[in-house]
Amino acid sequence: MGRPAKYKQYIREYFTVKTKNNKIVYTCNFCNGKYAKNFHRMAKHLLKCPKSMLSNSQRNAIKRCFSRETEPTEVVELNECPQSSSSGIIKYIHEDKSNRPGSLSPSNLQVLMETKEEIKNFSCTDIVAKSQLSASASASTITIVDMDMDMNDVQCCSKSINDANNTLTNFVDRIVTEEQDAIWALLARACYATGTPLSFTENKYWQKAFKALRPSFTLPSRFVLSSRLLDNEYLKIKESVTLELASASYLSVQLDGWSNVRCEPIINVVLTTPRPIVYKIIDTQEKKHTAEYMADIIQEVFSEIGVDRIVSVITDNAKNMEKARNIVLEKYPDRSISLYGCVAHIFNLFIKDVCKLEPFLKIEELARKIIRKIKYSHDNIDQFKNYQKEYNTGRTLKLPVATRWASIVYCIRSLIENIQPLQRIAISPKANLPEDLKDNILDNKNFWTTLQYLHAITSPVAKWIKILESSHCRINYVIPSFVDIKKQIIEKTVDSTYERFKLYADQILDLLEHRKQMAVKDIHKAAHLLDPRSKGKCLSPCECVDAMEFIEKLSKCFLQESEQGNVIAELAMYRNSTGLWKKPFVQSSLNLRTDKTQISSLTWWRGICGSTSLSKVATAILESPSTTACTERSFSTSAFIHSNRRNRLKNKTVAKLSYIKSNLSLQNSTYDYEDDNENILKLQDDVDDVDIAEDNISVDESETNEDSDMEVEEAFILHVVDEDQ
Find out whether the peptide bond into 274 is cis, omega within 30 degrees of 0: yes
Q: How many Å is the Cα radius of gyration of the chain?
A: 36
CB 341, CB 519: distance < 8 Å: yes
Q: Which residue has the higher pLDDT, 444 or 45?
A: 45
SS3 258: strand
Tens of pLDDT along 220-275?
999 999 999 999 999 999 999 999 999 999 999 999 998 898 999 999 999 999 89
Cα–Cα distance, 528 to 664 (Å, whole number): 33
Q: Which residue has the higher pLDDT, 436 or 700?
A: 436
In angstroms, how far apart are the furthest CA atoms of the chain? 111
The 10 Å CB-count burial string (b at 16+, else e) for 225-251 is: bbbebbeebbebbeebbeebbeebebb
CB-based burial label for 506 (10 Å; 0-12, 13-18, 19+): exposed
| The Cα angle at residue 435 between residues 432 and 440, in degrees rounded to 5 | 110
Which has the minimum average pLDDT: 7-21, 95-109, 286-300, 496-510? 95-109
CB 454, CB 360: distance < 8 Å: yes
CB 274, CB 300: distance < 8 Å: no
CB 155, CB 102: distance < 8 Å: yes
SS3 378: helix
Stretch 379-405: mean pLDDT, rounded? 87
Cα–Cα distance, 632 to 401 (Å, whole number): 14
pLDDT of residue 443: 82
Of the pLDDT bands very low, low, confident and very high (cuts 50, 70, 90), residue 671 is low
Please determine, for residue 102, whether its predicted confidence score (pLDDT) is greater than 60. Answer: no
Q: Which residues contact 109 (CB under 8 A, 6 or more apart)?
A: 91, 93, 143, 154
Cα–Cα distance, 91 to 144 (Å, whole number): 7
Helix/strand/coil percent split, the chain, to 5 = 55, 10, 35
Please determine, for residue 169, whether its predicted confidence score (pLDDT) is greater than 70. Answer: no
Cα–Cα distance, 659 to 667 (Å, whole number): 13
Please determine, for residue 71, whether its predicted confidence score (pLDDT) is greater than 90. Answer: no
Cα–Cα distance, 409 to 461 (Å, whole number): 9
Amino acid at 474: R
HSE-CB of 477 using CA atoms within 13 angstroms: 31
Q: Which residue has the higher pLDDT, 667 or 105?
A: 667
pLDDT of residue 188: 95
Cα–Cα distance, 260 to 114 (Å, whole number): 68
Cα–Cα distance, 475 to 486 (Å, whole number): 18
Q: Which residue has the higher pLDDT, 288 or 91?
A: 288
| The Cα angle at residue 304 between residues 299 and 307, in degrees rounded to 5 | 60
Please determine, for residue 487, whether its predicted confidence score (pLDDT) is greater than 80. Answer: yes
Length of the chain: 725
CB 42, CB 214: distance < 8 Å: no
pLDDT of residue 595: 63
Tens of pLDDT along 315-373?
999 999 999 999 999 999 888 899 999 999 999 999 999 999 988 888 888 999 999 99
What pTM value is reported for the model? 0.71
Cα–Cα distance, 456 to 414 (Å, whole number): 13
Q: What percent of the chain shows pLDDT beyond 70? A: 76
Helix residue ranges, H only, 95-150:
116-120, 124-127
Q: What is the number of helices (H) and of strands (E) in the chain?
A: 30, 12
Residues spanned by CATH 3.30.420.10 within the chain?
A: 234-342+628-667
Cα–Cα distance, 524 to 717 (Å, whole number): 20
Stretch 620-647: mean pLDDT, rounded? 91
Which has the minimum average pLDDT: 95-99, 444-448, 526-530? 95-99
Start-to-end CA span in the chain (Å):
73
pLDDT of residue 675: 52
Pick 234-342+628-667's CATH classification: 3.40.50.620, 3.40.50.740, 3.30.420.10, 3.40.50.720. Answer: 3.30.420.10
Tens of pLDDT along 561-617?
888 889 999 999 999 999 999 999 998 888 877 666 778 899 999 999 999 999 999
Q: Which helix (H) or strand (E) holds 294?
A: helix 291-305
HSE-CB of 350 using CA atoms within 13 angstroms: 31
Please determine, for residue 628, whether its predicted confidence score (pLDDT) is greater than 80. Answer: yes
Please determine, for residue 65, whether its predicted confidence score (pLDDT) is greater than 80. Answer: no
SS3 609: coil
Cα–Cα distance, 339 to 312 (Å, whole number): 6
Tens of pLDDT along 398-454?
988 877 888 899 999 999 999 999 999 889 888 888 888 888 888 877 889 889 999
pLDDT of residue 6: 62
Strands laid side by side in the 276-283 sheet: 276-283, 265-272, 251-259, 310-315, 338-341
